[in-house]
Structure 1
Amino acid sequence: MSQPSLDAVVEPDETKGTLRIRTASVSDVESLSIYFTSLSTTTRNKRFMGARADLAVVAAECVAKAGHPDRFTLLAELRQEGQSTIIGETLYAYDAASRHGDFAISVADVFQRKGVGLKMMSAMERHASDLGHEMIAAETARANAEMRGLAKKAGFEDTGLGDWQSVHLAKRLSR
């Protein structure tokens, strides 16, 4: 399986670095756990749609099926002076019964609204399309205006399938 990669220059808080998006592996569990712990409570709650205390377990679950063709986690890393720091992640899993992939995404608080999430979603879509998947969907809280805005910018539409607390978003992938 080829690893999606995307390099771009970002300038958060006047700090220059290179952003690389890559597929996570089992060796990333500790770094991913640290990343999840570093998120603000608000961002963490939005990512997991509620409070989670078992972040090391969540990180392990994100990479547990590394190499499985219908499930992957992408990491956004900022490279500065030879050091790499995770600043975003997206988990993707294909559901054969519903014939679409579901995803969850987070971006470190200081890197939000800087294009990192959109770059990660584009990389995820390309990877899913390369796997032959035709549809991606996600569910988010109605109150999560940031995710709803990001999804709209990425071409997702509200399917109307959510309930009073959630919004269901979907996008057909082009091949």
Structure 2
Amino acid sequence: MTALHLDDLKQYSDVLRAKNGSEIKVRFVEPRDREELQSYIRSLSAGSRYNRFLGALSELPKTELERFVHVGEADRFTVVATMLVDGFETVVGEARYAFHADTSSVEFGLSIDDRWQGHGIGKALLKNLECRAASFGAERIFGDTLRSNATMIGLARKSGYAFAASPGDWKLVRFAKEIHVEPQDIPCASWRLAATSRSAAMSSLAV
């Protein structure tokens, strides 16, 4: 199990930067974001939705949407990346990740609004996901995508991921990266703090 204080999600918000210096806020999704998240999914192009969910859909099914907005269930988490657009906080990306304790790994998928692709948001979000994975004590982070998804494959390649066939589905490719980072060396401040707190708690239990 992860050791996050899910009653206070705001402490896990991060501020990233796009290529042009614009501020990107990454935070856990909350039930109040239900409609905005669904609107974001609907606003993606058909191709972007197909790439993100590995199949055709126009929106998240209700049961899946509920899973997305309830953070921490079965060690699965959803975050949104937001920016101020015309004075309003606007979702420009999302990611969902899961911690697999049995393999010390984190699996993830992400999407970026078509209008904001090419602005460095995907790269910044991916680095943030790596921090989150390291804070759990994960040794590996990975994802699966369609072999035709050149954008995601290009992002993963530039970010130092290795590629292999995805088990059980020839249409997919798996990209993975080893992450052996000590808690105090995690580059994201909020997740460095979360990791050191987790490490201290585990040490006290071992005494």
Give the TM-score normalised by the residue count of structure 1.
Answer: 0.86
**Range with bigger deviation, 127-136 or 103-112:** 127-136
Alignment partner, residue 71 of structure 1: 76
What does residue 7 of structure 1 align with? Answer: 16
2:145 to 140, 147, 155: 140
Instruction: Answer yes or no: is the 8 Å Cα contact 1:74–1:91 preserved in 2.
Output: yes
Q: Check conservation: 2:143, 2:175, Cα contact below 8 A.
A: yes
Partner of 2:103, secondary structure, is coil
For residue 49 of structure 2, what is the aligned residue in structure 1?
44
- Listed as ranges, the gaps of 5+ residues in structure 2 are 5-10, 182-207
Contact 2:144 2:166 in 1 (8 A): no
Between the aligned partners of 2:61 and 2:166, the Cα distance in structure 1 is 32
Rounded Cα–Cα distance in structure 2 between residues aligned with 1:85 and 1:55: 19
Is the 8 Å Cα contact of residues 15 and 23 (structure 2) preserved in structure 1? no
Does the residue aligned with 1:36 lie in a helix, a strand or coil? Answer: helix
- Given the alignment, which residue of 148, 154, 159 partners 1:154? 159
CA deviations over 1:118-152 (Å, ceiling 9, x no partner): 11111111011112111111111111111100111
**Match runs of 1:26-41 below 5 Å:** 26-41=31-46
Residue matched to 2:88: 83
Give percent identity, aligned residues only: 32
Aligned position for 1:122: 127
Distance 1:106 1:161 in 2: 19
Report the Cα offset of residue 8 of structure 1.
Answer: 2.1
Contact persistence 1:6–1:123 (CA under 8 A) = no
User: Does 1:170 pair with 2:176?
Assistant: yes
**Which ranges in structure 1 are unaligned for 5 or more consecutive residues?**
none
Kindly indicate which of the two structures has a greater share of residues assigned to strand: 1
Q: State whether residues 163 and 175 of structure 2, in contact with CA within 8 Å, keep that contact through their aligned partners in structure 1.
A: yes
Separation in 1, partners of 2:14, 2:41: 22
Instruction: Judge conservation of contact 1:30–1:59 (CA < 8 Å) in 2.
Output: no
Equivalent-residue separation in structure 1 for 2:58 and 2:86 (angstroms)? 32
Deviations 1:53-106 (A, max 9, x none): 452523322122x14583221211011354101010010001233332111100
* 1:60 and 2:75 are equivalent in the alignment: no
Post-superposition offset of 1:17: 5.2
